Structure formats: structure tokens, C-alpha cells
Structure 1
Amino acid sequence: MSSSLHSPWQRHVPQIQRKHQHWLTDTGSLTQKLKNHCEQFVVQRVRQNRAFLNLSETKSLCLPLGRRILQRQVLLICDDSPVVFAHTVTALERAGRDWPFFNQLGNRALGLTLFANPLVCRSDFEYTRICAQDALYQIAQTALHTHHFKVNLPRHIWARRCLFQHVRHQNSRMMVTELMLPEIYQLEKTSKAR
């Protein structure tokens, strides 16, 4: 992936409408939260392949720039509307040993698998506002069009990321970045979740 052109990643909560903040700051499972806000939840895998590490991910993953990684990109869809574009990366040599489920996910959610594993801990969230010139923004927009969603993203979208670490393997890290697509802010809890 090419260079990133977003605001710096930061730990403090971004300046976003208070009624929308929970989508960025909730520490529970985003997958479960989305399921509570729609009748039909779908994970659409966009791609899963080997790639090279992005500059903005090197420090957090403790890997050098240009290192080969395994990446997975998905759209999270609520009632036929894409609401999140998720990008996950981990070191190629760690995927099979420390994250054996990763290659078998298909169109299933990664989040529920990670939350169910007591040997996995998650770091605090970092936040940024990604602009239209950013590589990840462009990948998300292309994914939407490729999967026939007529969604044109605004010039900036909020994103969050965190690191998952396997407690038995100190150097085993998986980074999950979630881009909040515009429709996520229109979701309301369904009657089944109230």
C-alpha cells in the first residue's frame, strides 16, 4: 500500500458529534454492536493476500518498512448498507502459528474470534481522520464500487485502529483498522437489542 496522507494517529477522542462518538470509542465488539443495530449483518471479504507493510503501521507492529505481511480487507454490512471498511494486517510468518484461524475466516467476522480468545489482549484505540488522498481511503472507495454499492465517500472519514497481541507470544501482533463509513451514523438499535 502506498503512503498514508491522513491526520496523525492519536489516542485522545476526536472532535466528532457526541451522538456519533460511541461508534469510535466503544471498547466492546464492533461486530456485536453492529448486529444489535440491524436485522441482517453480513461480512463481505474484499481481499486477503500477501502485501508489503505500510509506513504508518511499522512502529505499532514493530516491523520494518517493506516487510511482507498478510492483509485482510472486508466490508461490514448492515441491512444491505456498508457501514465499516476494515483492514487487518499481521506479519506473514506469524499468521499460521499465532493466528491459525485467520486463513479460514472467509466471510466471517474476525472480531468475534478475537474477543472470544482469552489469550488475546487489545491495545487502546488510536484515531485519525482519513482524507481522499490516502491509500486506505481509496481502497475502501474502490471496494464499495467493486461490490456494487453506490456510495461516494465524503472528503474525510473517521477511522480507528488497535493492536491485538497474543499473550503467549510477545512479538505476535495483529493490527485492525476500521474506517467508519457514512451510513454507520444512521444506525439505530433494533427492537431485538433493546
Structure 2
Amino acid sequence: MKFSAHFPQVRDRWLQRPVGSAQYRPWLMERGSLTRRLQRHSHAFAVQPLQQARRKAPHSEAVLLKLLPRQYVLLRDVMLRCDGEVAVFAHSVLPRQAMRGAWRGLGQIGSRSLGGTLFADPRMCRDALQYKKLGPQHFLYRRAARYQPGMTGPIWARRSVFRLGRNAVLVTELFLPEILALTEKNR
């Protein structure tokens, strides 16, 4: 896997480093497969599909993927569970052209890990990670809160674009407080 430093300018500002992330930092900085790390920290790992729909990508995500304003994509939201507890809310943007060729099956992976599928291809290149502390005003925070009643306070997120040739997929992961229990459990 290769990394690139591609950072288009968008109004939804994300950081190049997770400044002030304290105990979330080891999870945010993980450069390998988050799925693999979650599997190592739990006895039972599961992907719970929440929503998958063809829609227009939110503006900041469309800009990041260099999509046309009217272009429809497949938006996929899942919860990553460790030993029954929700640890991560993951949001993916899959443009139609990205689901062709080597990635043609991405739209039908169901309860399988998208990250696991992407990292399985050695030709895949991942752009640099970007970080943001999300509050209730951010659309991704609100999406996660729909499935996590009682979610309060800001949460840390990271995102990156995965590329294979001319294909690009955006994956954003929101780290819920329950993930810290995995760190403590494995000390």
C-alpha cells in the first residue's frame, strides 16, 4: 500500500494531525487496517450495516473526490462492533465509477468490512489521513447520533481517500467513546 499527500482545499476544515486527541490518538493514527486492529482488540468483531443509498454526496465530500455537483454516489453507513459494543461509526462515499473493475463488488459487501476489502488489494493507494473533532452541528455526528441514542459531547473522526488507478473511495471513521474501553481491556 502506498500513501500520497493529496489535500484538496475544502470549506469543511480537517486537520493534518489530531492535535489534542489525547487517549484517542493511537486509534486515530493507525495507518494500517482499522478492521484488523479492532479484530485484535476483541473476541467478536462485526460490521452492522445501517444505511446504503444512492444520493448526492455532501459538498465537502464531493469536492474531496472531485465529483460533479449533480453526481450520485453510493453512501454507506455502518457500525463496527467489538464484543457487542459499538466502537466506530463508519461512513463511506463510493462513486459509481469506483465500483467498476477491481472494485466492482464494493456496492454489495453487506456486513463485510469495506476497509478489509480495500486493504486486501496491494495496488491500493491511501491518501494522507485527515482528522477532525466533530460536534453536534456536523452532519456526520448527526448521522451517527441517529443510531447511538444519548450520544453527547464531541467525538474524534478521521477520513482518507483510497485510490486504485482512477477509482477513488472516501472512508470516514468516527471513534465513539466505547473504543477507549478496548484500549483499557488490552493493557
TM-score, normalization by structure 1? 0.84
Q: For structure 1, which segment, 96-105 or 131-140, has the greater mean C-alpha deviation from structure 2 after superposition?
A: 96-105
Matched residues, number: 177
Alignment of 1:65-84 (within 5 A): 65-84=69-88
Unaligned runs of 5+ in 2: 1-10
Cα distance change on mapping 1:82 and 1:31 into 2, 3 Å: same
**Structure 1 position 184 matched with structure 2 position 179:** yes
Instruction: Give the Cα separation in 2 of the matches to 1:16 and 1:93.
Output: 35
Deviation at 1:57, TM superposition (A): 0.9
Instruction: Give the Cα separation in 1 of the matches to 2:136 and 2:38.
Output: 25
Tell me what 1:96 maps to: 100
Instruction: Give the Cα separation in 2 of the matches to 1:132 and 1:190.
Output: 29
Instruction: Give the Cα separation in 2 of the matches to 1:143 and 1:99.
Output: 28
TM-score, normalization by structure 2? 0.87
SS at match of 2:19: coil
Q: Give the share of equivalent positions with the same residue, in percent.
A: 36
Please tell me whether the aligned partners of residues 18 and 132 of structure 2 are also in contact (alpha carbons under 8 angstroms): no
| Residue type of the alignment partner of 2:176 | L
Instruction: Give the Cα separation in 1 of the matches to 2:100 and 2:52.
Output: 14
Instruction: Give the Cα separation in 2 of the matches to 1:54 and 1:7.
Output: 11
What's the RMSD between the two structures over aligned residues? 2.0
SS at match of 2:13: coil
Unaligned runs of 5+ in 1: 1-5, 145-150
Please tell me whether the aligned partners of residues 36 and 189 of structure 1 are also in contact (alpha carbons under 8 angstroms): no
Alignment of 1:1-16 (within 5 A): 8-16=13-21
Please tell me whether the aligned partners of residues 131 and 159 of structure 2 are also in contact (alpha carbons under 8 angstroms): yes
Cα distance change on mapping 1:7 and 1:91 into 2, 3 Å: closer
Please tell me whether the aligned partners of residues 153 and 182 of structure 1 are also in contact (alpha carbons under 8 angstroms): no
The correspondence for 2:155, drawn from 145, 154, 157, is 157
Alignment of 1:45-194 (within 5 A): 45-144=49-148, 151-166=149-164, 169-170=165-166, 172-188=167-183
Deviation at 1:129, TM superposition (A): 1.1
Please tell me whether the aligned partners of residues 98 and 169 of structure 2 are also in contact (alpha carbons under 8 angstroms): no
Deviation at 1:7, TM superposition (A): 6.6
Please tell me whether the aligned partners of residues 50 and 92 of structure 1 are also in contact (alpha carbons under 8 angstroms): no
